[in-house]
Amino acid sequence: MKKQRHIQTHVLLTLVGLSCGLLLAVVLVFNLSIRSYIRSRVSQQLSTVSDSASQTWQGDMRERKGRFDEHPDRVTGTRGSAVVLDGEGRLLAVLHGDESVGGELAACFAGKKLSGDIPYRIIKLESGTYAVSVREDPFVRENYLLSYVDMTALTAFTRRVNTMLAVIILAAIGLSVFLSRRFARTLSKPVRELTDFAVQIGGGKLETRQMQFEDVEFDQLAGSMNHMVTELKDAKQKQETFFQNVSHELRTPLTSIRGNAEGIVCGIMEPKAAGRVILSESDKLGGLVEELLYLSRVGRSVPTDTARPLDLREVLSLCAFEQRTEAEGKGLTISYVFDDDPVMCAIREQDAQRLFGNLLSNAIRYARKEIRLTCRREDDASFVSVADDGPGVSAEDLPHVFERFYKGAGGKHGIGLSIARSVAESYHGSIGVKNKDGAVFEVRLPLA
């Protein structure tokens, strides 16, 4: 499990780490670069000083002393100096420079058996810091030339630069702390407000909040949460309406069944007549329960192994045949406008019969004389329409005909058209209704 941190701590660590990392990299690069550059220049100067000192030691010192003063080093701002040592490291002569400094440097090598060249090194004395090199005198055997350059000023300059960089790092840390606290407060405030809003929603208090944030993302999140609250309120209201309607639809046949059963028991109703009513109401109750169960299942993902290509013309013809008795009882005729070629769609036969059977049952309920069934290919989809010559759908009912338990004038349970829409949408199709010399229900499904 990851270690949890507050936003402020996370921001602080990020800013401090970034700023310190960059500044430390600058310090490191600066020191490495300046040391490499100075070492190269000082080594070059020490070599020049050694050459000049060797010639001075062999000739007239007064005549050649000017050699040391002709080419001051541009990096250190000082001129090279030199002393002569014997093989035991004892001071023999000061060729140029301060005698006390030369003596102090020579003392560092006193008592040491010198042999060969001693490369560039840094020696710190009380009087300052010096770059030193020792080389054999090419003209006088067993003598050595100690050349040195005063680097005290340059060392002090480098120290001052590093001190300034350290101050800058501390200032950057302080600024990072300040900015992180301010940024964290700016960030955590909308997070806390949105968290409180989420807790409110989780507690069942479905009320929108008017919240405005400077950050677009937080503002979009607040808008999405308010939209979610609206959808939840609507779903909750629909759920309450659903249970109320289900209770009412179940209570009516149960009341009738109970009343007739009590009449038989008490001997006040003729058993056969009461039994017919009980059977009729039981059929209605069973049909309602079956539709409710089907409605709870429809809309889920359709198993691909159970959906198969069907000719929708045959499905419509079968639905019309199954309901011909009810249609003939009302004196209705059913006409067919079908394509000559098959109109194939990948759909389960049970779902197809539910879809078109409910539309046909609805048309029989409102038609006056005729019902027209149309089935054809239309672009890349199959088109089916069920039209009746009834009064059509009222403007008040038109937006709600596919809602669960919504019953217009003459409606039955308010479930059939809801099932039809759910089936069509579960197969990535669509369904609609319009008025044209009656009600016309149109369904479009993908072709197989």
Q: Are strands 370-378 and 333-338 parallel, antiparallel or unpaired?
A: parallel
- Model pLDDT, residue 363: 92
Residue by residue, DSSP assigns 122-140 as: EEEETTEEEEEEEEE-SSS
The pLDDT value recorded for residue 136 is 83
Nearest residue to 388 via CA among 415, 370, 361: 370
Helices (H) and strands (E) in the chain, counts: 11, 12
Sequence length of the chain is 448
Do the Cβ atoms of 310 and 347 come closer than 8 Å?
Answer: yes
- Rounded to the nearest angstrom, the gap between the alpha carbon of residue 74 and the centroid of all alpha carbons in its chain is 58
Domains of the chain, start order: 7-159 (3.40.1840.10), 216-297 (1.10.287.130), 308-446 (3.30.565.10)
CA separation for the pair 388, 402 (Å, rounded): 17
At 9, the amino acid letter reads T
Tokens describing residue 82: 């030199």
Class of residue 222 by CB neighbours under 10 A (exposed 0-12, middle 13-18, buried 19+): buried
pLDDT at 76: 47
Spatial CB neighbours of 77, under 8 Å, sequence gap ≥ 6: 153, 154
Q: For 350-390, what is each residue's pLDDT tens digit? A: 889 889 988 998 899 899 999 999 999 988 899 999 999 99
Distance of alpha carbon 424 from the chain centroid: 34
pLDDT tens for each residue of the chain, 448 residues long: 556 666 667 777 777 788 778 888 888 888 888 878 777 877 777 777 777 766 666 554 444 444 444 444 544 445 678 888 888 888 888 887 888 888 888 888 887 777 777 777 888 888 888 888 888 877 677 788 888 888 888 888 888 888 888 888 888 888 877 877 777 777 778 888 888 888 888 888 888 888 888 778 888 888 898 989 888 888 787 777 667 666 766 777 788 888 888 888 888 888 888 888 888 778 777 777 776 776 666 655 545 457 789 999 999 999 999 888 889 889 999 999 999 999 999 998 888 988 998 899 889 989 999 999 999 998 889 999 999 999 998 888 888 888 876 766 655 556 788 888 888 988 889 999 999 989 999 999 999 8
Nearest to 42 by CA among 95, 80, 97: 80
Q: What is the pLDDT of residue 61?
A: 40
pLDDT at 445: 94
